[in-house]
Chain A
Amino acid sequence: MRDVMAGEWAKAWSGKAWWLPAAFGILMSFMASLGYATQGRESIAQSRTDAGAVTDDVVQAWMMMLLFASLYGAVSVAREYATGTIARSVLLSGSRTRLFSAKLIVTTAMGALYGVLAVGLAVASGWGLMAAGAGHRPVWTRETWLILLGVFVCTTLSAPWGLFIGWIVRNQIAAVGTLMGFTLLLDPGLQALFPQGAKYLMTIAMSSVYRDGKPELLSEPLALLVIAGWLAAAAFLARKLLTSRDVV
């Protein structure tokens, strides 16, 4: 098993699949963070908010990295189906279950690295953008640190979530489309139409963890349970399909 993990770890750092989603995530998160800082300057000047709340917004904008961590997870397996590499991965891993486990461990570790990157850049944004964009020193409160912890947890867990979607869908474009559709369209749309039910969706439950602050959201412990439930269901389905379908 350690051999298979070593191989998967080496694969994870090959090509552009690891850095391209990260680069897009950094760009998008930075733009959002900058927007919150700039908007915060006006709001603080009009006494509609304070530097602490703006710091939280600037930091929280880095939750966008979770989408890109999930895209990384999906592409890490779907690209193997696109190139036919998956057949060799299955044969040389010894068993499909062993490959599934090795990819899960490696992808979660990569998700954690995405999480560290997100948190590191969020903290840097807090310092840099608050001064440059909002014209104030950042105010670090307990809430800010809880947001950062939530961003780390959600970004880390998004990578295996994407991986499971990749195993299930087995097509790069469809997997990426599915994740973007869930995160950017379906879940927010359902949340607007049916907030009491939508709070149990994966990405909406995650917004509880990174402390989005909407009143209808689940409590953090319950949200973590819901996330665990989604991950368990997706893992079960992904593994079942991997072990029962032909490798094409």
Chain B
Amino acid sequence: MSENAVVSFRGVTKRFGSSTAVDDLSFDVRPGRVVGLLGRNGAGKTTSLRILLGLAAPTAGAATVFGHRYAELPGARHRIGVGMDGMAPVPGTSGRRGVAIWAKTLGLPAARVDEVLERVGLAESADRPVKGYSTGMRQRLSLAVALLTDPELLVLDEPANGLDPDGIRWLRHLLRSFADEGRTVLVSSHLLAEVEQTVDDVVIMQQTLRYAGPLSELTSDGTDRLEDRFFALAGAGKGGGPDA
């Protein structure tokens, strides 16, 4: 592990019975970078992030944040903002009340709720029930909760899913400005074109690690397309990809 790695995976393996979701995964995330964790559906991205956050235990290996396992990291809930796929809002709440509940859990003042709702563009619809929110609005709401503590690290799982073009552009600017402040973003995605415009570093996985390093190296400073390099590294897919 490099000394200043914000996130470090070392030999992480996760098996569910006879099925291996993640196999011997090792990579580091450096501070102040936006890092894209790329892979097909079922490549083990979400499982890897859940292991990092202590929501799932690895079968072998270890994943650390700021040098500690998540459960042992002092102040982890304030230092790390998380938006995971499938992490729904509190049932029966409005956007504002849902975020306010998490703000209470974190011991934050109510004023912070309005700040993050404004930042994610939900201020005007904050009092509507979340059950009427579109997928994109739910993504923004999830980001609002992730941003509540003004964290040092953002861990986001497929945050662009359901966002419209305006939302994707907004997300790109948000993540860039976050990293420009010296903070770190680890974002999983299968939207290669979007990732190409957003990230500094890339981790490609397909159960095992296929590549970890700067995007510029992977694409030879933009000479190659990320999509082409991805398929070359991740191998043939089942859905009619170039190598299929």
B56 touches A91 (CB 8 A): no
Query: CA separation between A95 and B82, bound complex, in Å?
Result: 15
Asked if A84 CB lies within 8 Å of chain B CBs, one says yes
Residue of chain A at shortest CB distance from B131: A15
A15 touches B106 (CB 8 A): no
Interface size on A, residues (CB 8 A): 28
Indicate whether A84 sits within 8 Å of B88 (C-beta atoms), given known contacts A91-B82, A94-B76: yes
Query: CA separation between A16 and B92, bound complex, in Å?
Result: 7
Indicate whether A87 sits within 8 Å of B90 (C-beta atoms), given known contacts A10-B104, A94-B76: no
Instruction: Please give the distance in Å from A55's CB to the nearest CB on chain B.
Output: 39
A3 touches B145 (CB 8 A): no
A248: B residues at CB distance < 8 A: 56
Query: CA separation between A188 and B57, bound complex, in Å?
Result: 41
Query: CA separation between A10 and B105, bound complex, in Å?
Result: 9
B104 touches A88 (CB 8 A): no
Instruction: Please give the distance in Å from B162's CB to the nearest CB on chain A.
Output: 15
B57 touches A6 (CB 8 A): no
Considering the complex, which residues of chain A in the window 73-128 have a beta carbon less than 8 Å from any beta carbon of chain B?
A: 79, 83-85, 87-95
Residue of chain B at shortest CB distance from A10: B101
Which of B87, B92, B97 has a CB less than 8 Å from the CB of A84? B87
A247: B residues at CB distance < 8 A: 50, 55-56
A17 touches B91 (CB 8 A): yes
Query: CA separation between A6 and B100, bound complex, in Å?
Result: 11
List 6 tightest A-B contacts by C-beta distance, closest first.
Answer: A15-B92, A7-B105, A3-B107, A83-B88, A246-B56, A84-B86
A3 touches B105 (CB 8 A): yes
Among B77, B86, B97: residue with most chain A CB under 10 A: B77
Residue of chain B at shortest CB distance from A18: B92
Asked if B102 CB lies within 8 Å of chain A CBs, one says yes
Residue of chain B at shortest CB distance from A84: B86
A87 touches B101 (CB 8 A): no
B82: A residues at CB distance < 8 A: 88, 91
Query: CA separation between A95 and B88, bound complex, in Å?
Result: 20
A11: B residues at CB distance < 8 A: 90, 101
Asked if B89 CB lies within 8 Å of chain A CBs, one says yes
Would you mind naming 25 contact pairs between A and B with Cβ atoms under 8 Å apart? Answer: A3-B107, A4-B105, A6-B104, A7-B106, A8-B105, A10-B97, A10-B104, A11-B90, A11-B101, A14-B90, A17-B92, A83-B89, A84-B88, A85-B88, A87-B87, A88-B82, A88-B102, A91-B77, A91-B80, A92-B77, A92-B102, A92-B105, A93-B105, A246-B56, A248-B56
A79: B residues at CB distance < 8 A: 91
Asked if B93 CB lies within 8 Å of chain A CBs, one says yes
Q: Which residues of B contact A (CB under 8 A)?
A: 50, 53-57, 71, 76-77, 80, 82, 84, 86-93, 97, 100-102, 104-107, 145
B55 touches A7 (CB 8 A): no
B100: A residues at CB distance < 8 A: 10
B55: A residues at CB distance < 8 A: 87, 90-91, 246-247
B91 touches A83 (CB 8 A): yes
A8: B residues at CB distance < 8 A: 105
Considering the complex, which residues of chain A in the window 213-248 have a beta carbon less than 8 Å from any beta carbon of chain B?
A: 246-248
B106: A residues at CB distance < 8 A: 3, 7, 92
Instruction: Please give the distance in Å from A80's CB to the nearest CB on chain B.
Output: 8
Indicate whether A246 sits within 8 Å of B57 (C-beta atoms), given known contacts A3-B106, A84-B87: yes
B89: A residues at CB distance < 8 A: 83, 85
B101 touches A7 (CB 8 A): yes
A7 touches B102 (CB 8 A): yes
Among B86, B97, B104, B105: residue with most chain A CB under 10 A: B105
A83: B residues at CB distance < 8 A: 88-89, 91
Query: CA separation between A7 and B110, bound complex, in Å?
Result: 12
A14 touches B56 (CB 8 A): no
Query: CA separation between A88 and B80, bound complex, in Å?
Result: 12
